[in-house]
Amino acid sequence: MDFSAYKTALVTGASSGIGAGIVRRLTREGLEVHALARNEDRLRALSEETGCRFHAISVDDNDALEKLAAEVEVDVLINNAGQSRKGDILNTTAEDVDALLDINLKSVMHMVRLFVPGMVARDRGHVVNISSIAGHYAFPGGNTAYHASKAGVHSLCQQLRVHLYGTQVRVTEISPARVETEVFGRLLGDMEEAKRRFFDEYESLKPEDIAEAIAFAVGSPQRMNVAFMEILPTKQVLGGLNFAKRNA
């Protein structure tokens, strides 16, 4: 199924980074793209640039999402919105745990609940959920609730394909490694420090790389479901083994 079979797309977390890159890419394919995020000023600027329609809504506002689902018919749903926080489960707060689960996992489930039944009724659609390598691997410095929330997205994708068996609705999970976005700056509270620490000496993925991967999956023939894509920078690898000494 090429892009001509689809008319509309909805992208969450669309005001910057990967989300904005996806909006730019999908509008180039002629889709009517609905961009959803909290930052209205950035969304308005993106709309002026791309012609997308924007909705200044938080993904944890279920009332607003239900109203939108009643008004907008979506063929391509891109669940991109996400957050990260410092700390691990041993030194975090209740607010941090709730925020990560609400934004990274529960909101994805609600978006699926609200928009995918329409795809099934039309027998046409594609769901793209953006998880993270943190959902598949454990590594030092990772926030436990963040890892767990992204693992939940992976499980959701697997089970959703089972529920959609026999329909023409496809499900793709995109699992990126380090992407050069503002998320690290928000985490540290200092964009320049994040740039220096995470990007200046590394060749990281760019938001447009993820957008191109999504375009490949969505634009693939209908007989082909790109179920899972793990995307890493060429010079980043996964794995490693630590072994603590006795009584360390």
Active site residue 146: yes
Q: Is 141 helix (H, G, I), strand (E, B) or coil?
A: coil
SS3 24: helix
Instruction: Determine contact, residues 133/230, Cβ cutoff 8 Å.
Output: yes
Are 204 and 198 a contacting pair, CB within 8 Å?
yes
Say which of 6, 137, 146, 165 is annotated catalytic.
146
Q: Judge whether 54 and 47 are in contact, CB under 8 Å.
A: yes
Q: Both tokens of residue 136?
A: 């598949």
Q: Inter-axis angle of helices 107-122 and 144-163, to 10 degrees?
A: 20
Nearest-5° angle of CA 52, CA 58, CA 61?
A: 125
Question: Can you list the positions of beta strands (E) in 133-224?
Answer: 169-176
The two three-digit tokens of residue 241, written as one number:
């083994």
Rounded to whole angstroms, the Cα distance separating 123 from 120 reads 5
Tokens 């000494």 label which residue? Answer: 245
Residues labelled catalytic: 146
